[in-house]
Amino acid sequence: MTLLKVDQLSKQFKQHQAVKKISFSIEEGRCVALLGPNGAGKTTTIHMLTGLLRPTSGDIQLYLQGKQVADRRPHLGYLPQMPVFYSWMTGREFVQYAGQLAGLSRQEAERRTEEWLEIVGIQDAAKRRIGGYSGGMKQRLGLAQALIHRPKLLILDEPVSALDPIGRRDVLRILERIRQETTILFSTHILHDAEEICDDIILIEQGEIAVQGRLEHIRQSHSEPMIMIETLNEAQAKALEIAIRNKPYVHHVASEHQTLRVTVSNLEEAERGIMTEAVQHHIFIRKLEAGHSTLEDLFMKVVRA
């Protein structure tokens, strides 16, 4: 069942159009990643969904049991990209305060605070002032405040990007647990995180949706034969890129340092062709691997196009 429907949503900041007529739906119970490079329009989109920013045009509707709701805000939980806390409050006080702000009674807020502090794993620090919390602890605290009122849709803006690998893993584990009960939309520019826990992805680039759909489906439909070639150095990689980029068997070439990733129409033909070009141009091939493109290759292709 559809929980959120976004139709032709746009945001114009003076000269700059940050979001350009994007449309998508979020189905109940799913975990959706809003992917895109820096400046793609993820935060702007999220600000419009949460009601922090007025859209220039377009429509956002939330449905509960199939019925449209007039004010979606009480049904949303939100963790901003750069959350700010009252550093003099303790973690427990803050979560409880968020609960009461969301309309819970004092007793109910107290009860749920203990529950959520435990789920996010900061009950031991609950009595300490937030000013002394690490980045990972603040992120967990942010999750607890976003979830205390049992929102239908949890919206997280880059919940793991600022964390170290351990903090990242911990927060992803918490999200995995939460997703059993709550629909989640989270933005990230790290594809790997999306692949780990999401069902659906929406990839935006320069304010437009470049790719959207079920992760599995996208993975299959965008998988192309691909050859990875490692040359001696960056200059050689560039030279090989120039030599092969207009060949009929090459769909797309991307080079990074001494490595080329080439999506091709036919692996055998391309392998032979590339080897011939390398010999002719005195390019030394250190490694050549034939396989299929990954979601990361698709992401890079869309973002760099």
Residues that bind Mg ion (CB under 5 A): 42-43, 81
Query: Would you state the structure tokens that stand for residue 122, as one six-digit string?
Result: 């900061």
| Cα torsion 49, 53, 58, 59: sign | positive
Degrees (nearest 5) of the Cα angle 75, 188, 13? Answer: 75
Residue 12 or 259: the one with the smaller Cβ distance to ligand ATP is 12
Asked if 54 is part of the footprint of ligand ATP (rule: CB under 6 A), the reply reads: no
Considering only 6, 18, 215, 300, the residue that binds ligand ATP (CB under 6 A) is 18
Asked if 16 is part of the footprint of ligand ATP (rule: CB under 6 A), the reply reads: yes
Residue 204 or 211: the one with the smaller Cβ distance to Mg ion is 204
Check: CB of residue 63 under 8 Å from CB of residue 1.
yes
Rounded-to-integer distance, Cα 93 and Cα 86, Å: 10
Choose one: 39-47, 62-70, 176-184, 221-229; the region binding ligand ATP (CB under 6 A): 39-47
Spatial CB neighbours of 90, under 8 Å, sequence gap ≥ 6: 126, 127, 128, 129, 130
Considering only 13, 27, 135, 221, the residue that binds ligand ATP (CB under 6 A) is 13
Choose one: 33-41, 83-91, 94-102, 121-129; the region binding ligand ATP (CB under 6 A): 33-41
Residue 34 or 117: the one with the smaller Cβ distance to Mg ion is 34
Spatial CB neighbours of 196, under 8 Å, sequence gap ≥ 6: 172
Residue 38 or 220: the one with the smaller Cβ distance to ligand ATP is 38
Asked if 76 is part of the footprint of ligand ATP (rule: CB under 6 A), the reply reads: no
Output the smallest distance, CB 168 to Mg ion, in A. Answer: 17
Read off the amino acid at residue 25. Answer: S
Which residues, 90 to 119, sit near ligand ATP by CB under 6 A?
A: none
Read off the amino acid at residue 147. Answer: L
Using DSSP bridges, classify how beta strands 67-68 and 2-13 pair: parallel, antiparallel or unpaired: unpaired
Rounded-to-integer distance, Cα 279 and Cα 81, Å: 50
Residue 42 or 72: the one with the smaller Cβ distance to Mg ion is 42
Residues lying near ligand ATP in the complex (CB under 6 A) are found at 13, 16, 18, 36, 38-44, 81, 189
